[in-house]
Amino acid sequence: MTLDELEQIANEVQAAKEKSPRALNVCVAAGCLSLHSDAIKSALEKEVQRTGVNCRVAGTGCMGLCSLGPLVNREPDGQLLKNVAEADAAEIVEKLESVPPERLLCSREQPFFQRQTAVVLENSGRINPEKIEEYIAAEGYQALVRALTEMAPAQIVQEVSKSGLRGRGGAGYPTGLKWGTVAKTIGTTKYVICNADEGDPGAFMDRSVLESDPHRVLEGMIVAGYAVGASQGYIYVRAEYPLAIKRLQAAIRDARRLGFLGSQICNAKFSFDIEIRIGGGAFVCGEETALIASIEGRRGTPRPRPPFPAQSGLWQMPTLINNVESFANIPTILRRGGEWYASLGTKKSKGTKVFALCGKVRNVGLIEVPMGTPLRQIIFEIGGGIPDGHRFKAVQTGGPSGGCIPEQSLDLPVDYESLKEVGSIMGSGGMIVMDDSACMVNVARYFMEFCMSESCGKCIPCRAGTAQMFELLTRMTSGTATPQDLELLEDLCDMVSSTSLCGLGQSAPNPVLSTLRYFREEYTEHIVDKHCRAGVCECNHLAEVSA
Amino acid sequence: MRRHGFAREALIETLHTVQEYFGYLDKPSLRFVAASLRVPLSQAYGVATFYHYFTLKPPGKHTCLVCLGTACYIKGAGQLLATAEASLNVKAGETTLDGNVSLVTARCIGSCSMAPAFIFDGETAGNVNENALRSKLAGWKN
């Protein structure tokens, strides 16, 4: 494959579009699909066939505003239709050339769309994820062909370093540095692994990227393979994401067909192939050494580092592990240059970040903003604020390893450092908004229950510590706790976070610590007054009985 | 197994396939897989019990999966689970005595935009409320 051949494919797609400029693109990513958008797609197809109008009907990836789904995007005018039902098909096709029905119209002028910057999601909702040609028409695989024909591996690593991209899985380790380490490690066999074991509850960024634009991830992985000298890649994806697995399988097949995977890719002395490994629903497998154990067919338990996977990973070989979103950034970084990417974001956190905005917020969905965007803007402008007249209470980031951020910290610019400062972490990008109907002690207990049952059991601080902390939190929510229990809880938090083997245990106390820091009065109310101000916990009931 | 060349590291892949066909992993199939891949039975059993996705008990005719992800939890999935438990008279992870319905929970199915989310027999349902849940479960009774 050469650049000219890529251009030819792109031109063919373009020509087909010009021949029939009208199109209805139905979102068939998991969110809209579970609202039966596939049935809407076939209803539209039938209607187009019946009336004989010249209009393409296609399925695309996520358009972002999941709470107003199913969404349909109309070409060529780009009008967005919301809450579409099967019964609307006739009217939509009939009014193809005029203004769509008022009740279906979803303005693209609203802050939800205006305040976003799309890099990873640039094709999401615009191309058909099951057609490699459409990805190529959107400048796809150009970065790969350029890299293989014009750049040396070291140059690619340099470009990625220049971009300032940091690991999007949550920890924020500089990607360029990681690539450099693996590239420099001596070894004939090296591996590239894409971590798509998105275990954080309330996070669905990776799922959406894989479902909406799978080739972008493959391209990033192949480039990485070339840059570090690997010839085999694995994508470790959750079994809970059947649609993402299906689209990935199709994408790998198509990439092989066009020669982007296999031997002598683009006539370069470089061979690379990718296999999918399906997870088994264990949260700890998101930890890189546990993930490697799982790919090797064993129980997913972590091991102490060093040696880091960059030196000794899969089958004791040097292994590069990156998150889905990190790989998805690579094609754009190479196409537009590391400097361009570094111009987005803040001093220490470059580029953009995809967030899954959900919970008690008006606009639920997938968003991408430059690093450094204030939380307030994300929640109140893009998210549209809190519905049903409730008051904002906290936003939870980073899943079970993160923390709750209160109202007074809302003007905080979102980047790795400032989130850490307020006791949370960037995490993979789940952002769950809570209003005054949520009890912070109960939320802390919820996450502790999660960590307790997801602890792999290898190290004692995590296995026993999370169980004890859960027990203490349960006493508080059920109204049987004493003031000593709070002291004990704080001691345990300190012990578990400083002595656990892997990230799961080390960060398990975070939800407790952050809620204690900002909502300590709620803990005291539960313990002393046996009162839950949100009215969620059982202790209220107890107080009534004794009164 | 043949597709993976009877490789030991394909244990998880193989178990996935077995569960897909039979619905669960029973003792004979675990023994068979372990013997074919030349891994100790203890390792096969260890893997099968470590990962939540594998089940050693036969599933019911219908499956009701409750998502307990954070977004669903904040929007009341806990109460809905209690409702399901009460109306089926089973605890989460169990199957009704007549083998009709299995009640299972998930950490997060990634459908947070439609919280609280359920999966009824493989079909995702969003924004589920008490009434919708009750009528769905009642519909399975016959």
* B102: CATH: 3.40.30.10
Residue A533 burial (10 A CB sphere; 0-12, 13-18, 19+): middle
The pLDDT of residue A445 is: 95
- Cα A384 to Cα A379: distance, rounded to the nearest angstrom: 7
Sign of CA dihedral A276, A280, A286, A289: negative
Sheet holding A191-196, edge to edge: A273-278, A232-237, A191-196, A319-323
- The C-alpha of B39 sits at a distance from chain A's nearest C-alpha, in angstroms, of 10
B56 part of a folded domain: no
> How many domains, chain B?
2
Helix segments in A455-538, DSSP class H: 460-478, 483-499, 503-507, 510-518, 520-524
In order of start, what are the domains of chain A with their CATH numbers? 21-108 (3.40.30.10), 139-342 (3.40.50.11540), 352-433 (3.10.20.600), 440-546 (1.20.1440.230)
Tell me: do B132 and B84 sit in the same domain.
yes
Which of B54, B112, B123 faces A358 most closely, judged by CB atoms?
Answer: B112
Tell me: do B39 and B75 sit in the same domain.
no
The pLDDT of residue A545 is: 64
Pairwise CB contact (< 8 Å): A281 & B10: no
Residue type at A214 in one-letter notation: P
CA–centroid distance for A249 within its chain? 19
pLDDT at position A547 over 80 = no
- Which tens digits make up the pLDDT trace of A484-542? 999 999 999 999 999 999 999 999 999 999 999 999 999 999 999 999 999 888 887 77
Per-residue confidence at B5, pLDDT binned at 50, 70, 90? confident
Per-residue confidence at A138, pLDDT binned at 50, 70, 90? very high
Pairwise CB contact (< 8 Å): A358 & B71: yes
Tell me: do B25 and B78 sit in the same domain.
no
The mean pLDDT value for A193-217 works out to 93
The pLDDT of residue B1 is: 66
Residue of B74, B104, B118, B128 to mutate when probing chain A, most A C-beta within 10 A = B74
Pairwise CB contact (< 8 Å): B12 & A365: no
Chain B hits for A69, CB-CB cut-off 8 Å, are 113
Angle at A156 between CA A150 and CA A159, to 5 degrees: 115
> Is-contact A272 A265, C-beta < 8 A?
yes
Which of A281, A432, A443 faces B51 most closely, judged by CB atoms?
Answer: A281
**% of chain A with per-residue pLDDT over 70:** 99
Which residues, other chains included, contact A86 with Cβ-Cβ below 8 Å and sequence gap of 6+?
Answer: A36, A39, A40, A43
| DSSP symbol at A110 | S
- Which tens digits make up the pLDDT trace of B22-38? 989 999 999 999 999 99
Tell me: do B68 and B34 sit in the same domain.
no
Which of A201, A434, A447 faces B108 most closely, judged by CB atoms?
Answer: A201
ipTM for the predicted complex: 0.90
- The C-alpha of A293 sits at a distance from chain B's nearest C-alpha, in angstroms, of 9
For B28, other C-beta atoms within 10 Å of its C-beta total: 8
Tell me: do B74 and B41 sit in the same domain.
no
Q: Is B9 on the interface with A (CB under 8 A)?
A: yes
> Is-contact A431 A357, C-beta < 8 A?
yes
- Cα A129 to Cα A214: distance, rounded to the nearest angstrom: 7
- The C-alpha of B82 sits at a distance from chain A's nearest C-alpha, in angstroms, of 14
Residue A492 corresponds to which tokens in the numbers above? 């345990």
B1 part of a folded domain: no
Pairwise CB contact (< 8 Å): A294 & B12: yes
> Is-contact A251 A267, C-beta < 8 A?
no
- The C-alpha of B56 sits at a distance from chain A's nearest C-alpha, in angstroms, of 14
Tell me: do B70 and B124 sit in the same domain.
yes
B99 part of a folded domain: yes
Q: Which residue of B has its CA nearest to A297?
A: B9
- Which tens digits make up the pLDDT trace of A46-104? 999 999 999 999 999 999 999 998 999 998 899 999 999 999 999 999 999 889 999 99
Pairwise CB contact (< 8 Å): B52 & A280: yes
Q: What Å distances lie between residue A31 and A237, A331, A401, CA to CA? A: 18, 26, 25
Angle at A259 between CA A253 and CA A261, to 5 degrees: 65
Q: How many CA atoms lie within 13 A of A402 on its CB side?
A: 28
Domain range holding B34? 8-50
The pLDDT of residue A546 is: 61
B68 part of a folded domain: yes
Tell me: do B29 and B70 sit in the same domain.
no
Average pLDDT, chain B: 90
- Cα A98 to Cα A94: distance, rounded to the nearest angstrom: 9
Tell me: do B123 and B77 sit in the same domain.
yes
Q: How many cross-chain Cβ pairs, A to B, lie less than 8 Å apart?
A: 133
Tell me: do B31 and B66 sit in the same domain.
no
- The C-alpha of A434 sits at a distance from chain B's nearest C-alpha, in angstroms, of 7
- Which tens digits make up the pLDDT trace of A10-59? 999 999 999 989 999 999 988 888 888 999 999 999 999 999 999 999 99
The mean pLDDT value for A177-188 works out to 94
The mean pLDDT value for B14-19 works out to 92
B3 part of a folded domain: no
B105 part of a folded domain: yes
For chain A, helix, strand, coil in percent to 5 are 50, 15, 35
Pairwise CB contact (< 8 Å): A34 & B53: no
B102 part of a folded domain: yes
Per-residue confidence at A544, pLDDT binned at 50, 70, 90? low
Tell me: do B66 and B86 sit in the same domain.
yes
B82 part of a folded domain: yes
| DSSP symbol at B95 | B
Sign of CA dihedral A397, A402, A407, A409: negative
Q: What Å distances lie between residue A390 and A435, A441, B77, CA to CA? A: 6, 19, 19
Tell me: do B123 and B103 sit in the same domain.
yes
Pairwise CB contact (< 8 Å): A35 & B115: no
Tell me: do B134 and B82 sit in the same domain.
yes
pTM of the model: 0.94
The pLDDT of residue A281 is: 85
